[in-house]
Amino acid sequence: MVTFLPTRPGRLADVPSFERGIGGAESNVACALAAAGHAVRWVSRVGVDGFGDHLVQAVGAYGVDVSAVGRDPERPTGVYFRTAGDRSTDAHEVAYYRAGSAASAMSVANVDLSVALSGRVLHLSGITAALSGECLELLRELTAPRDGRPLVSFDVNFREGLWGGSAGPGVLLDLARRADVVFVGADEAREAWGLSDERALLEALVGPELVVVKQGAAGAAAYERGGRRCLPSAGSRGLVAQFPAPLEGMHFSSAPEVEVVAAVGAGDAFAAGFLSATLRGLPVRDRLRHGHLWAAAVLTVPGDLAAPPSRGHADRLAALGEDAWGRLRLGPGWTRAGEALEEVRTP
């Protein structure tokens, strides 16, 4: 969607002007990964209008392949407005205008499944599943077991207001069980499924080989099951089909302290950082740390997107010992601080 960001704090009724940007769970992930040098294709639909032109151009400018983005001559491009405040406060407002949009009409009939399934990783979001029955059918088709299926990454992204009923939690649970890697916030698990205990959450999420539970500023944990499958190497189309194995272990990484400018888009950036490290074959702990670092890049800017730290810079920070990692403090501009570790402040 096209995002309109306020030029000053205040209620939507009081803000006199907005700056145009881009936003959307999956496109945010695509842009971040492309900015970090990965080959990324965005599969979506936009209207035949100026906002659709802007989205395709803006997403493409990050290096994303937008050749699979369809244009709908009958439906508009979705837009939304938000306030400058933190999403977690009562003062935060978001006004979505995407009902009947081109993206909400995505379906098995108008999306090329072979293109969507052609990468090493396919990243999906529960937000898309909530947009329409056609979108849900599409996600069920993309997460169906099949030979040659890429590693399916699924961000639960539970938004109660999008579902308009009681079906959402069950639908999201079913989709998450069909994925290989699942991202879910501890708060989402409580809100959607009434699961405040992570053991109960893991027992409910049978199927995924890796479940990443985000715990806000405290950090994130990754619960790993072994024996199902590995990320296919570049060019590999094979899928090793095995029964889900018991959990092998838990990996936890605290989050660095961040001077937050705007808490929007951080979850998408975390997923992008984690998936980038996954594509590079890094250990699970380092995948979590890269997720935190990419999230910190977004948290320290006002918009939904930010250039991730350079690979070398992020690798050096991710390799810090536990004590040094725990002392990490990141503020606006930290990704441009060069390759030195000026951010590590020791007592």
The residues that are catalytic are: 268
Cα–Cα distance list, 98 to 3, 43, 47, 162, 265 (Å) = 11, 17, 11, 11, 18
- Of the candidates 87, 155, 34, 67, the one whose C-alpha atom is nearest the C-alpha of residue 304 is 87
Distance CA 221, CA 40 (A): 26
Consecutive H or E run containing 270? helix 266-279
Closest-CA residue to 129 (of 93, 167, 94, 96): 167
> What number of other Cβ atoms are within 10 A of residue 340's Cβ?
9
| CA of residue 105 relative to chain centroid, distance | 21
Give, in order, the Cα–Cα distances in Å from 108 to each of 134, 135, 242, 347: 7, 8, 27, 57
Q: Are 253 and 289 in contact (CB under 8 A)?
A: yes
